[in-house]
Each structure stands twice: as structure tokens, then as C-alpha cells.
Amino acid sequence: MRMNWTILATVLLLLVQTSVLPWLVPPGWSDRLLPHLPFIMTVFVALYGNRHRAFFFGLGFGLLEDVLFYGKLIGAYGFSMALLGYLLGLIAERRPRTLSFTLVSVALGSALLDMMVYGIYDLFQLVNVTFAFAVYWHIVPTLLISALLALLLYIPVRRWLVKNIASSAEENGG
């Protein structure tokens, strides 16, 4: 897989996440809906690439999100995205990559990402809300919007990654 183009596409998705999506989300929901487009791409890399690439992909973009947006604690998103990218890639090696599996992976991964970050922030006493409130107020709406965005991105991203995997395999002689 030519990761350079995939990384560039994910940087563009990060720009869309930070510049376009805030205009589309209603003002009352702006603190509830925080879609993570780089994480969605990390899940796609895990499913259609391999777990090692997804690990480094998630680590890089997670640390970028930590530095750009969440300055309280550097590394929470980097660690969580890298770990989930690796685990989802490990699971995907043994499962067929269907639309339903992809959507479940994105939804479950989004929920686990937000729960892990909440747990890390709670460990260092950086949050002042209960876990139940965080699930109701932030995790479930973000899970739903992430699944919707993954559905919109599914066909173009899958075609892109599968084409690049085939061309990389031919270049590497395998």
C-alpha cells in the first residue's frame, strides 16, 4: 500500500474535520459530536492494510490530534488509536471484510477510543463528569456519527486501499 497518499488523504480529512464539520454540526451539539476522521481511516488501514501499518498510522495521527486539539495530556489519543488500530487489524486477519464488519469495527472502535481516552483522563483526574454522563453525552453520539461517516467513506476508501495493496504486492514481487 502506498502509505504516502493515504497519509495525505488523511491529513485532508483532518482538515475537513477541523474546518468543515464544525460548520455542519448544530451549535447545541458542537461539544457532543466530535467525529474522528483520522481514526476512521486508521480502522480502514487496519482492515485493508495490516495491523502494523494501522498501529503506526494510529500512533502518528493520534499524537497529531493530541498536539493540535487536546493539550491537557499528550499521548492519550496516540496510545488509544495505535492500540485499537493494531487490535482491529489483528481481528480483521481472521474475518471477511464486509460492509457490516467495517461499520461494526468503526462503531465499536469509536466507542472504545472515547472510553479509553475518558479512562486515561479520569486516571489523571482531568475530567469532572461521571462515566454514565460521558457515555450519554459524548460517546454514543460520536459513535453514531462515526458509523455514518464510515458508511459515506466506505466505497471510495476501500477501492483506494485495495488498489494500492494490489499495486504494492506487484511491486514487491508477491
DSSP 8-state assignment for residue 28: G
- Tell which residue, 99, 94, 3, has the closest CA to residue 42: 3
**If you average pLDDT over residues 154-173, what whole number do you get?**
73
Domain boundaries, the chain: 37-163
- Tell me: pLDDT of 93 over 60: yes
Dihedral sign, CA of 141, 143, 146, 152?
A: negative
Phi-psi region of 173 (alpha: psi -120 to 50; beta: other; left: phi over 0): left
- Tell me: pLDDT of 1 over 50: no
Instruction: Output the average pLDDT for the chain.
Output: 88
Please tell me the distance from the alpha carbon of residue 82 to that of residue 63, in angstroms, as a whole number. Answer: 10
Please tell me the distance from the alpha carbon of residue 26 to that of residue 77, in angstroms, as a whole number. Answer: 25
Q: pLDDT tens for residues 104-152?
A: 999 999 999 999 999 999 999 989 999 999 999 999 999 999 999 999 9
pLDDT of residue 97: 84
- Tell me: pLDDT of 49 over 90: no
**pLDDT range class, residue 168, cuts 50, 70, 90:** low
Calculate the alpha carbon distances from 83 to 14, 17, 59, 60 in Å: 20, 22, 8, 12
Grid cell in block for residue 22: 464544525
- Tell me: pLDDT of 23 over 80: yes
